[in-house]
Amino acid sequence: MKHKEYNPAEIEPKWQEIWEKKGIFKASDDTGKPKYYALIEFPYPSGDGIHVGHPRSYTALDIIARKRRMEGYNVLYPIGWDAFGLPTENFAIKNKIHPRIVTAKNVARFKSQLKSLGFSFDWSREVNTTDPSYYKWTQWIFLKMFEKGLAYKAEMPINWCTSCKVGLANEEVVNGVCERCGGEVIRKVKSQWMLKITEYAEKLLNDLEIVDYIEKVKIQQKNWIGRSEGAEVSFEIDGTDKKLVVYTTRPDTLFGATYMVISPEHPLIDEMKDRIENWSDVVEYRMLAMKKSDFERTEINKEKTGVPLKGIMAVNPVNGKKIPVWTSDYVLMSYGTGAIMAVPGHDTRDWEFAKKFGLDIIEVVAGGDIEKEAFTDIETGVMVNSGFLNGLSVEEAKEKIIQWLEEKGLGRRKVNYKLRDWVFSRQRYWGEPIPLIHCEKCGWVPVPYDQLPVTLPEVENYMPTDTGESPLANITEWVETECPKCGGRGRRETDTMPQWAGSSWYFLRYIDPHNDNEFAAIDKLKYWLPVDWYNGGMEHTTLHLLYSRFWHKFLYDCGYVPTPEPYQKRTSHGMILGENNEKMSKSRGNVINPDDVVAEFGADAFRVYEMFQGAFDQPIPWSQQGLRGCRRFLDRVWKLQEILVPGEGYSEKLDNIMHKTIKKVSEDFEKMKFNTAVAALMSLLNEFYAAGAVTRGEFATFLVLLNPVAPHITEELWQICGYEGMLHEQKWPAWDETKVIDDEIEIAVQINGKVKDVVRLSREATKEEAKAAVEASETISKLLAGKTIVKEIYVPGRIYNIVVR
């Protein structure tokens, strides 16, 4: 019988249309079924169209989503657009097109590209962060935070990108340059809206215990939050009533503090102006430090610099010793109290500084050689030269000194975090307007909830201003408004929100995307939350994940969402590199366009390829040959029609491998071992051809197993071969554990650990039976001639090893 050729260009659009028409991937809010919420990071619709990296994540969770549906779940697998952001705005400026139009165009392109790949997204729940009906709720959440005191305005030295002319969060500065454009970043003081994420540091850290994130992600979150335990200690400034408070994780070394260092920005410098004898030196140093970019300032291996505050001495509270106070930019104003007690004997940085400037080094923990280097070991050291702490271990000394400090009122136990508050202002046009109005009488007043959203005004020019103000600042008729509280003159905030805002809660909006009265109805949230499985890139594990957890926890505390954590499970995919093993980029000329791949090989081959090529969490280089191989596999699947024979069950010969494959594929999908799952299906296919026939029952199971990876071809074959109903409605196959186990297996026979022969044995063969089988082997008996058997080891089902001398 002659069959039609496999033609993905024909069958793929056909099935995409059928799925869409029937609405089969629409999640219902029918709470009778168990729910499953699968989530991928919604894309930023850039002008370049989708990248081959996008489908890696989307296919993976599409596999999970499709499998779950066949397992009887009500699945939510949504998609949307994280569409605010700089690249669109920059493109708009350059080409004089409104960013809204650019966005719409990019979204349309992305949408058609994603649709061509056959993902089972519920398109009816599509969201777009730039849609006023969406950002109305982004603003609403912001106002709730403002109400609770979590949003505040502060004069902050911020990271200023000299090229984008925009303030950046610490996280957007990579190696001292702008994450987006690579431009130089300097420090600039601006009044900025801040979000108090630090208030949630403890919860964000502790609740990592109750979620199922891959370990790597948890570790990165923990490091970013950076919790440390220690103490705050007050030092008196000699001859004044002023105190200098420091934070230290090593209060045990207090006797070894020989000088103090304060950050150049520390307010004490100005307070002590009259007493500082070398004021001009200090001012000069401070100016120099402020001019430095963060990059220069934090560059490692840099010679330490600093100047003493002459005339200022601090008093060590444990022994009354007077010690000098210096200022140096290795002490950061933004961490702890902006001041440290320097213990050069036991801190590497302090040691370097002391060596350079000839300051005293005292050993207070014995065990190292402080002439050569700081001794920082806290496990083995014993306290010396430390009065009442002498002889204690570091751990004991910490406890004792903290108690002593607290009793004397000189200090207290303190926990600190590296996590900083979130700079939430951007001086840009293409973002959510911050919905606040400044009134001279009333201060900052929120725009009333019933007036949300505060929409972006139409403007002629959305170029950033040279002063660094948002382009919105130039639109007088928009800026000038009434104070909602007193009716007097008010001015709108002209800063907009960062791109992270809209993505901090989008997974909630998917649950109830068309709700005009609330961001999502609580009963729906109760049904769908938490997200069961969230997959995304490692590049978002610190920022986006932390921010969205923070927003979610805030909403939880307010009673608006039912779970303390948004995502139950988080996994990450590896990057897809260019064929030359480098990151894909236009400048490297190694970009693969998914459209070309679909046109030449089909979406199914593309999907199979991306799942098969390597381990899901590892980076993989692109390989056109590998892709060709996956297409060949599908061609061979297609041609199975030619050897299809009647029989609803499995043939005796293949029964065992059928059950094995069902088990392997089912389990591998869950573990995201897609490459070995596909390999198992390829092996099964080879078995079909080796057998020369495949029964209808075997083929049906094969198609179901392959369906989540290659949905179009399998659905088409299901139809062509006249199976009942549609493939996606079928049940996920079950395997029979007793049939997975082989009754008779091959056991390797080793001599001194080296395989010499193989014998066929029952899985449960006794040692005697095994021995008999082994002795029957000619190869073995030949090799054993003249040797003395020392020992024989038999592990049923595994190995038979003969040790000889």
Residues in 516-555 at the binding interface with RNA, rule: CB under 7 A: 538-539, 542
Of 44 and 121, which has the nearer Cβ to RNA?
44
Minimum CB separation of residue 747 from RNA in Å reads 7
Is residue 249 involved in binding RNA (CB under 7 A)?
yes
Is residue 221 involved in binding RNA (CB under 7 A)?
no
Span near RNA by CB under 7 A; candidates 49-57, 96-104, 717-725, 742-750: 742-750
- Written as six digits, the tokens of 405 are 């400090």
| Subset of 417-456 contacting RNA (CB under 7 A) | 418
Minimum CB separation of residue 775 from RNA in Å reads 18
Angle, to 10 degrees, between the axis of helix 624-638 and the axis of helix 711-720? 20
> Which amino acid type is present at position 242?
K
Per-residue x/- marks for RNA, 170-199, CB under 7 A? xx--x-------------------------
Number of shown-chain residues binding RNA (CB under 7 A): 84
Of 145 and 657, which has the nearer Cβ to RNA?
657
Minimum CB separation of residue 174 from RNA in Å reads 6
Candidate list 758, 762, 784, 796; residue touching RNA; CB under 7 A: 758
Is residue 628 involved in binding RNA (CB under 7 A)?
yes
* CA dihedral (370, 373, 378, 380) positive or negative: negative
Return d(Cα 800, Cα 784) in angstroms, integer: 14
Of 226 and 484, which has the nearer Cβ to RNA?
226
Bridge partners of 569, per DSSP, are 212
Candidate list 166, 452, 678, 704; residue touching RNA; CB under 7 A: 678
**Backbone angles phi and psi of 230, in degrees to 5:** -175, -145
Of 298 and 777, which has the nearer Cβ to RNA?
298
Angle, to 10 degrees, between the axis of helix 99-116 and the axis of helix 594-601? 30
| Subset of 326-355 contacting RNA (CB under 7 A) | 329-332, 335-336, 338, 340, 347, 349
- Other CB atoms within a 10 A radius of the CB of residue 109 amount to 17
Could you identify the residue written with the tokens 């499995």? 650
Per-residue x/- marks for RNA, 681-700, CB under 7 A? -xx--x--xx----------
Minimum CB separation of residue 618 from RNA in Å reads 5
Of 206 and 223, which has the nearer Cβ to RNA?
223
* Per-residue buried b or exposed e for 318-346, using 16+ beta carbons within 10 Å of the residue's own CB: beeeebbbbbbbbbebebbbbbbbbbbbb
Candidate list 630, 637, 644, 774; residue touching RNA; CB under 7 A: 630
| Subset of 355-394 contacting RNA (CB under 7 A) | none
In 128-191, which ranges are continuous DSSP H helix?
Answer: 132-147
Minimum CB separation of residue 275 from RNA in Å reads 23
Return d(Cα 185, Cα 188) in angstroms, integer: 9
Span near RNA by CB under 7 A; candidates 61-69, 215-223, 395-403, 642-650: 215-223
- Written as six digits, the tokens of 501 are 């805002």
Is residue 750 involved in binding RNA (CB under 7 A)?
yes
Return d(Cα 42, Cα 502) in angstroms, integer: 11
Minimum CB separation of residue 330 from RNA in Å reads 3
Minimum CB separation of residue 781 from RNA in Å reads 15
Of 799, 711, 684, the C-alpha closest to 750 is 799
Of 94 and 805, which has the nearer Cβ to RNA?
805
Of 121 and 638, which has the nearer Cβ to RNA?
638
Return d(Cα 779, Cα 800) in angstroms, integer: 14
Minimum CB separation of residue 229 from RNA in Å reads 8
Of 720, 682, 661, the C-alpha closest to 1 is 720
Return d(Cα 423, Cα 416) in angstroms, integer: 19
Of 37 and 800, which has the nearer Cβ to RNA?
800
At a CB cut-off of 8 Å and minimum separation 6, what does 167 contact? 158, 159, 160, 161, 188, 190, 192, 423, 425, 426, 427
Of 307 and 447, which has the nearer Cβ to RNA?
307
- The helices-and-strands tally (H runs, E runs) of the chain is 26, 34
At a CB cut-off of 8 Å and minimum separation 6, what does 582 contact? 588, 590
Angle, to 10 degrees, between the axis of helix 594-601 and the axis of helix 8-22? 110
Candidate list 97, 108, 210, 219; residue touching RNA; CB under 7 A: 219
Span near RNA by CB under 7 A; candidates 60-68, 156-164, 272-280, 753-761: 753-761
| Subset of 698-737 contacting RNA (CB under 7 A) | none
CA distances from 152 to 434, 481, 499, 553 (A): 12, 21, 19, 18
Is residue 801 involved in binding RNA (CB under 7 A)?
yes
Where would I find the beta strands (DSSP E) of 563-641?
Answer: 569-573, 576-577, 620-621
Candidate list 457, 629, 647, 697; residue touching RNA; CB under 7 A: 629
Candidate list 31, 112, 223, 580; residue touching RNA; CB under 7 A: 223
Minimum CB separation of residue 558 from RNA in Å reads 29
Return d(Cα 325, Cα 600) in angstroms, integer: 71
Of 189 and 789, which has the nearer Cβ to RNA?
789
| Subset of 598-627 contacting RNA (CB under 7 A) | 612-615, 618-621, 623, 625-626
Is residue 771 involved in binding RNA (CB under 7 A)?
no
| Subset of 264-303 contacting RNA (CB under 7 A) | 297-300, 302
Of 407 and 690, which has the nearer Cβ to RNA?
690
Is residue 785 involved in binding RNA (CB under 7 A)?
no
Minimum CB separation of residue 227 from RNA in Å reads 8
Candidate list 54, 250, 492, 549; residue touching RNA; CB under 7 A: 250
In 226-292, which ranges are continuous DSSP H helix?
Answer: 267-271, 279-291
Minimum CB separation of residue 292 from RNA in Å reads 9
**Backbone angles phi and psi of 639, in degrees to 5:** -75, -5
Is residue 157 involved in binding RNA (CB under 7 A)?
no
Is residue 224 involved in binding RNA (CB under 7 A)?
yes
Strand 80-81 and strand 173-174: pairing?
unpaired
* Per-residue buried b or exposed e for 712-749, using 16+ beta carbons within 10 Å of the residue's own CB: bbbbbbbbeeebeeebbebebbebeeebbeeeebebeb
Minimum CB separation of residue 701 from RNA in Å reads 18
Minimum CB separation of residue 64 from RNA in Å reads 18
Return d(Cα 74, Cα 71) in angstroms, integer: 9
| Subset of 14-73 contacting RNA (CB under 7 A) | none
Is residue 746 involved in binding RNA (CB under 7 A)?
yes
CB 107 within 8 A of CB 486: no
| Subset of 115-134 contacting RNA (CB under 7 A) | none
Could you identify the residue written with the tokens 């920059």? 90
Of 250 and 426, which has the nearer Cβ to RNA?
250
Dihedral over alpha carbons 455, 459, 464, 469 (to 10 degrees): -60
Is residue 568 involved in binding RNA (CB under 7 A)?
no
Of 521 and 758, which has the nearer Cβ to RNA?
758
Of 270 and 642, which has the nearer Cβ to RNA?
642
- Written as six digits, the tokens of 467 are 């002063």
Of 126 and 617, which has the nearer Cβ to RNA?
617
